[in-house]
Each structure stands twice: as C-alpha cells, then as structure tokens.
Amino acid sequence: MAAAGMDDLSHLDERGRVRMVDVGGKDETERLARAEALVVMAQATLQLIADGAVPKGDVFATARLAGIMAAKRTHELIPLCHQLNLSAVHVEIEPEPELPGLRITTEAWLRGRTGVEMEALVAASVAALTVYDMCKAVDRGMEVRAVRLLAKSGGRSGTWRRPDTDETSEDRR
C-alpha cells in the first residue's frame, strides 16, 4: 500500500495544519460502507453467549444497539468527521465457531456529500467492545481483532472492495 503524500491528505491545509474538509461543493450521492470486527474468545464463552446465559444479559441485542448508537455519534468521537444524517445502520453478529468467537458486520448508508466509512468502522468497533464488556466477567482474555473496512460505494472515488474477502458490497437494506 503506497503512503499518501502531503498533497493527498485532505485534512491538512497548504501549511500542513489540520482542518475540516469543506464538502459543501460536492454532489450528493448514495453512499454505502460495510465494515467488520472479530471478537475472539474461549469456546465456553461463545457457548454462554449462544445459550443466552451471560450474566449481564442479551449480548447480541446490546452489542447491536451499541453499534447503531455509536455510528450516529461518530462525529463526536473522531476529530474532523462531519456530522451525518444517516439513512440507516445495520449491525449483524454471527457466531464463528472456528475462531472461536463472533463476527460483527456493519453497514451504514446515506445520501450525502461525504462517505460513511468511519460510521461503519465505529459501529463495528463499539459493538465488539460491547461484547467484551458484556462477557469480561467470564473471559478477560477475549481479543478484538480485524476491525476493517470491507467495502464502500458512492462519491467521486466510486466503489472499493477489500480484495482479500468475498465482499460483494451489495446493498443489504
């Protein structure tokens, strides 16, 4: 992956100072981003989650809600992110017995002037951290891994898909 030069960094002005990008002149387009995070845990912890026996409650529902709420507040967490009027955010959590653990996949979309990659990534990250919080009493050795963008579409740069996945970037609304 090539490193960006100073001219490629849109959050720096001509003197190298941090700035918020002006998106006012950009066209509004449909923008979609998908991201994922993995939470690796002991097999016994995964079984507790599957059985609905985690002492703190429903891990899936709580992590989904946390991910959605976090996506809506991304601009408060990440400096220089624009506050976006999201159309929707989806958070899916699937057991992955071979990890063992959970795969969290998020999708954010809107019609707007800037992308939703950070919202999808923040949703995946916070959902994963919520799983950790819900289960830490039974498994402090859990790991959050592979928080990454899977695909994005819309805007001037068009469509991008992570090449090492089977990601199709199809709209799952």
Q: Provide the annotated active-site residues.
A: 133
Dist. CA 41–CA 143, nearest whole Å: 7
Specify the length of the chain in residues.
Answer: 173
- What the block records as the tokens of 153 is 């579409």
At position 69, the amino acid (one-letter code) is: M
- Answer for the pair 118, 78: CB distance below 8 angstroms, yes or no: yes
Radius of gyration of the chain (CA): 18
- Answer for the pair 171, 159: CB distance below 8 angstroms, yes or no: no
